[in-house]
A and B are shown apart, each in its own frame.
Chain A
C-alpha cells in the first residue's frame, strides 16, 4: 500500500538548517510527485513546495529563498532542506503524494515529523 514517512531532527537551533527526509513505498517517484506541507502548532496548513515526477520543482514564493527540495528516485526518498530557521518555523512537517489523474490533489500523506526551533 502507499506509504510516506517523514524523518527529521526534532530540534533545531535558531539560524541553523533543517533537513527532512520523506521515504515512500508502494509507488515510484518516477511516476508521482511529492509535496511538502507544514503546520505550526494550533494553526492551519501551509504548502511549501512540490517536486514533480519528472524532477521539476515549484516552491511557495514566500519561502523560496530558504527552501530546497530534491529527490533520489532509486532510494524512494524526497528531501526538504530549509535554512536560516527561526522560531516561527516550528511546525509539523508533512510530505504528501501528488496524485495522478486527480486534478493535483495530495492523495496520501505521511504522519508528519515535528520540528522545534529553539536554543
Chain B
C-alpha cells in the first residue's frame, strides 16, 4: 500500500500568517492528492482535489500544489475559522489512505 506522511503533526501560527502544510507519498501518485479540513467539532470538508483544484465554496485563500510524491496545502492569510486539522488523502490507488493530519493552532 502507498503510505501518506504528514511530518508536521501540529503547527502554531498567527492570524494573518501564510501557512503551508506538507504531505509526502511513498511513491508517485500522479497528482491524485486531496486535502480535507476537520473542525474541532468533527465536521469534515473537502478543500482541494487533484492537487490544486478548489472544491465548490472553498475560500480562495486556500490553494494546493505539488507533484510526484510531494504536495502542499497553503493558506495565504490565516483566519480564525481556519483553526482545524488538515488531512491529505491519496486518490489514485486503493486503499485511499489518509495522512496522519496536521493540527493548526493559533
Pair A44/B53 contact, Cβ less than 8 Å: no
> Which bucket holds chain B's interface residue count?
20 to 34
Residue of A nearest to B56 (CB): A107
Q: Which residue of A lies closest to B33 (CB)?
A: A103
* Dominant secondary structure of chain B at its interface with chain A: loop
What is the distance, in angstroms, from B64's C-beta to the closest C-beta of chain A? 12
A47 and B98 contact, Cβ closer than 8 Å, known pairs A103-B32, A104-B92, A107-B46: yes
Q: Is A106 an interface residue (CB 8 A)?
A: yes
Hey, what's the 0/1 contact readout for A99-116 against B, CB within 8 Å counting as 1?
100111111110110000
Q: In the complex, A62 Cα to B96 Cα: how many Å?
A: 12
Give the interface size class of chain A: 20 to 34
Taking the complex as formed, is B66 at the interface, i.e. its CB lies under 8 A from any CB of chain A?
Answer: no
Give the Cβ gap from B19 to chain A, nearest Cβ, in Å.
Answer: 19
Decide yes or no: A105 and B95 within 8 Å by CB, A45-B101, A96-B44, A111-B42 being known contacts: no
- Distance in angstroms from A7 CB to nearest chain B CB is 16
Q: What is the CA–CA distance of A37 and B94 in the complex, to the nearest angstrom?
A: 13
